[in-house]
Structure 1
């Protein structure tokens, strides 16, 4: 009875989710055989080293540029590294290129700055060859700098720099596609004059489950309401379309059209490797006749070319086993995931105290400034750093070429987390390995977690005992150095706090003297 009950729980409540289109039925599509592909886009894709589209990209293309022709909202639930970014970027760029109108017509929202930078690079690489401009709103630079890029004022048909003192001139968005994080998007909606969503044709919500889980200043209802209001305003003033002025047409929302329709709906792309099935969350999106594209019959799916292993060890010796494992993997890019910022920082310091190891280690966490994270990520991408110790800030959609190994130093709490971590390797058809450190009492929970992704094969990975024991003296020495380092830092913080308290006391004393 319990098994039957569990099966019922796994059946999606939403009817359209029960009969998805299986991505696995599609094969890689050589660019020369992709129907209606713009020759300019074909050429730039080849220069990027892309000779064919992956199955998810072929499936989405068929439902947008192909027979589907954007008649339905697209929801994609496929493994990490399967090519979801290009799957939506390519048809959006091709469609927007048909009309040479400089206004914001596609918005891509992502949960993190690093992921937004990555997606912006994909769009920029293909959009420039067809004359489209791509903007970025993530808070990496000041909001004033972003305004200069996003908003322009028309000048005899050309676009000149935005002048905030010019109150008489109508301001307009100067990019065709905007990649944004929700917080900075809301800043521009609320504070940037001339920033408008009235012409928006496409809304992409990448890593949907995370963006729906966190409210982010109610960005989603705000965006949907703005586009809905502009749509209704356009319909009510259809007479504007009879006038020849391009500015008038834009103000009425007429240029949001495609397929010859003047006032179309807003097309949505919803994507994740772990797409939620919660009706209360999905309902927030107001999807139109949605089509679900998924890989296989399991909600959670790991890359086909991924090998998973478990390493059982005592907690106190985990750093020692990690060093031994990394020495086995030397020469290969590896990411080590921990459960917290504190563990990431402490483990990074500890490994660096081991002495002369034949690989360079770096820390990557949300506590670091964006510029620092970008620098660390660049070093890792270029192969200057071999091992990245990271929090789950690195798990969402990040694509670093050549990552061979993912190591779960701490067992992930949920299958979703495991899938997003493991998905940093075995991307785009390449092979990869995932190692998970476990205590003896965690084995059953971990194996039960993997059953949800139909990943029943997870053999043990053995390290030679002498390779572990040989590093024990270095490990004890590293622990002592870490202890001294932490005590020194603690002393500095105490001294700093004492100094601040003394300064505050002196200031208070001077204030009292003035009062007297």
Structure 2
């Protein structure tokens, strides 16, 4: 794209209309942390569960959401939350949802949380699983990690059969019930269950959480959102039949009926309107995308005026290096960090694999380094992540599979081996450190020609402070011979892997037969 086209595209983005409800947001920065014993209406059982997690108070964004859901707000409006990474967004929605569902002992699927990746969904499920059992609620996971049959057995409760009795198949299917109150899912597997799993229904759904909203709205994901909204709207006809309400018969939109569930006094009925919470550290402001969510009188909660915000305790640095010697600068930097838990981000899964392989050919660095990318099986990624969390691995080389939402306690440093192309990517990468009020550093390796572009990138997040971080020149010189040896080993490794792939993909039947 030429410069004129880029400027035109940039001006079009700037000219996008801002939705009226986004012009006067609730500033989360004005809200203070709140000790659990001062949090109004908190169920004592949940307070104990939180204390067992080591939580003694709620962060500002968590307090703000609590006030708008359990407090005076009482879920009368849908919530849009734009808050920096590591600010506590997961617990911000998990806690009020669990509290609300605990007030009614009905076993059916009443809350759905949708996330873009398996790893992130598994992490969110763990948060729910630490508090939900305290009030008698169960949480399910639908991400495709296991077979769909195994997932069905976890999500659907089948009636007990007595020997010697004949059952009508239709009656049997009607007795299938949800075994979970809350479901955490990825879009693809959610659609699989909607289309194929008997007994799986969204007709009782009260709460829908769309986490990492901008990514979920950007990608189609089998049209999961229109499907969910259509199913939750279609059940409203039986929940609020015209004959039992004062609604005029001229209403032809089920969406209108659901909205009027609050506006016309149905708020306290068995099936209120579907409440939505959408969250991201970089929430889109595009009206056409937000319109897909069909939000009800949305309330916008954000921190400050800028859409793009970095964690308060984050320090950003840049390393200027020669292109050919980039791996040397990375190794020298890792040595100065002395084994601190760090994540190195690359631009692709292929780069992740090759860089990790190269680093492990550098001899005895006394640093345990592993890769984490979409090329690996889910079981391998999960094992690696557990080892990283436990401190058995000090450095994780990752593609952007780990950029969004992943929470690993004790990550002190994030290193951008490849400069991110967009400020969103920088924010989500950098947000793996300096979480929950902790300090952290983000280093970005740059060629000289990238420095000016990187400065413009950071200005979009109001960051004008990114000093140069230098590594000792003697460290670079001492690594040169080891580097050359590591490069030679990498070339041999790549050749061997390429040969292995060709051998696996080789099919004798593809060879033309002589006639």
Contact 1:276-1:282 within 8 A present in 2 as well: yes
- The aligned residue for residue 399 of structure 1 is 407
What per-residue deviation string (whole Å, max 9, x for no partner) do you get for residues 393-432 of structure 1?
1011000000000000000000000000000000000000
- The aligned residue for residue 305 of structure 1 is 313
- The aligned residue for residue 168 of structure 1 is 171
Distance 2:149 2:504 in 1: 35
Structure 1: runs of 5 or more not aligned: 157-163, 241-252
Is 2:425 the counterpart of 1:423?
A: no
Distance 1:183 1:305 in 2: 36
**1:267-282 correspondence runs (5 A):** 267-282=275-290
- The aligned residue for residue 86 of structure 2 is 81
Q: Offset at 1:8? A: 9.6
- The aligned residue for residue 231 of structure 2 is 226
Contact 1:107-1:204 within 8 A present in 2 as well: yes
Q: Which SS does the other structure have where 1:480 is aligned?
A: helix
Q: Which of 327, 330, 343 matches 1:335? A: 343
What per-residue deviation string (whole Å, max 9, x for no partner) do you get for residues 185-221 of structure 1?
0000000011010010000000000000011100000
Contact 1:330-1:358 within 8 A present in 2 as well: no
Q: Which of 384, 390, 393 matches 1:382? A: 390
Q: How many residues matched?
A: 483
Distance 1:77 1:404 in 2: 24
Distance 2:182 2:21 in 1: 29
- The aligned residue for residue 249 of structure 1 is none
What per-residue deviation string (whole Å, max 9, x for no partner) do you get for residues 107-131 of structure 1?
0000000000000000011000100
Distance 2:426 2:505 in 1: 40
Q: Offset at 1:11? A: 7.6
Q: Offset at 1:327? A: 0.3
- The aligned residue for residue 442 of structure 1 is 450
Q: Which of 37, 41, 62 matches 2:67? A: 62
State the superposition RMSD in angstroms: 2.3
**1:77-476 correspondence runs (5 A):** 77-154=82-159, 166-169=169-172, 170=174, 171-236=176-241, 260-476=268-484
Q: Which SS does the other structure have where 1:124 is aligned?
A: helix
- The aligned residue for residue 30 of structure 1 is 35
Would the alpha carbon gap of residues 129 and 353 (structure 1) be closer, same or farther in structure 2, given more than 3 Å must change? same
Would the alpha carbon gap of residues 326 and 12 (structure 1) be closer, same or farther in structure 2, given more than 3 Å must change? farther
- The aligned residue for residue 246 of structure 1 is none
Q: Which SS does the other structure have where 2:192 is aligned?
A: helix
Would the alpha carbon gap of residues 151 and 492 (structure 1) be closer, same or farther in structure 2, given more than 3 Å must change? closer
Contact 2:108-2:180 within 8 A present in 1 as well: yes
Distance 2:387 2:270 in 1: 48
- The aligned residue for residue 245 of structure 1 is none
Contact 2:206-2:271 within 8 A present in 1 as well: no
Contact 1:11-1:18 within 8 A present in 2 as well: no
Q: Which SS does the other structure have where 1:471 is aligned?
A: helix
Q: Offset at 1:153? A: 3.3
Q: Offset at 1:487? A: 2.0
- The aligned residue for residue 159 of structure 1 is none
Distance 1:149 1:497 in 2: 36
Would the alpha carbon gap of residues 428 and 165 (structure 1) be closer, same or farther in structure 2, given more than 3 Å must change? farther
What per-residue deviation string (whole Å, max 9, x for no partner) do you get for residues 87-111 of structure 1?
0000000000000000000000000
Distance 1:26 1:149 in 2: 40
Q: Offset at 1:314? A: 1.1
Would the alpha carbon gap of residues 228 and 493 (structure 1) be closer, same or farther in structure 2, given more than 3 Å must change? closer
Contact 2:16-2:286 within 8 A present in 1 as well: no
Q: Which SS does the other structure have where 1:470 is aligned?
A: helix
Q: Offset at 1:496? A: 4.8
Contact 1:106-1:202 within 8 A present in 2 as well: yes
Q: Offset at 1:493? A: 3.8
Q: Offset at 1:490? A: 2.8
Would the alpha carbon gap of residues 272 and 12 (structure 1) be closer, same or farther in structure 2, given more than 3 Å must change? farther
Q: Offset at 1:234? A: 1.8
Is 2:50 the counterpart of 1:45?
A: yes
Deviates more, 1:171-180 or 1:94-103: 171-180
Contact 2:267-2:273 within 8 A present in 1 as well: no
Distance 1:11 1:218 in 2: 25
Q: Offset at 1:154? A: 4.7
Q: Which SS does the other structure have where 1:217 is aligned?
A: helix
Distance 1:107 1:354 in 2: 46
- The aligned residue for residue 23 of structure 2 is 18
TM-score by length of 1: 0.90
Contact 1:12-1:18 within 8 A present in 2 as well: no
Distance 1:344 1:76 in 2: 32
Distance 1:333 1:165 in 2: 59
Q: Which SS does the other structure have where 1:316 is aligned?
A: coil
